[in-house]
Amino acid sequence: MEFLPQQPSGRGPAEWFTGDVWWDVLAAGAEPSRLRANLVRFAPGARTHWHTHALGQTLHVVSGTALVGTRDGTVLEAHPGESVVCPPGETHWHGAAPDRFTAHLALWEATADGTPETVWAEPVTPEQYGAPRRRSDPAAR
């Protein structure tokens, strides 16, 4: 067992994010582990660009109101304690609601064969970001 050395917070680059985004790497597993875990903090209205993960991604909301969108126009609204699973290869974006700071844990895996674990695409348009949101059905949980 060991403590991992703390790394400085990283700023989300404009090539991947709209608005102010910061992350802390919590885990970047060494072989045989492929675990990746970041605490990501979004300023109000900040968000990722469209992207996919080869092996999928789970987002666990820590604070604020998170938005997660898919190419079919669905925008989910998630709150602290809720998790959203993005399946492998699903093009999606995620970020903060326009009126709240948001933090989430982003969990994913590196690929075993060295192919990119994340493929980034274009920015989310204001219309895509502002699409009507839907909440999960509490009865289904």
Extents of the domains making up the chain: 10-129
Residue 33: pLDDT band (50, 70, 90) is confident
**Least confident range of 80-84, 91-95, 127-131, 135-139:** 135-139
At 63 the pLDDT is: 98
CA–CA dist 116, 17 (Å, integer):
18
At 104 the pLDDT is: 98
> Which overall architecture, per CATH, does domain 10-129 show?
Sandwich (2.60)
C-alpha radius of gyration, the chain, whole number: 15
Tell me if 72 sits within 8 A of 131, measured CB to CB: no
Locate 129 and state its tokens.
Answer: 């970001």
| pLDDT tens digit sequence for 88-123 | 999 999 999 999 999 999 999 999 898 999 999 999
Residue 28: pLDDT band (50, 70, 90) is confident
Alpha helices by DSSP H, listed for the chain, are 126-129
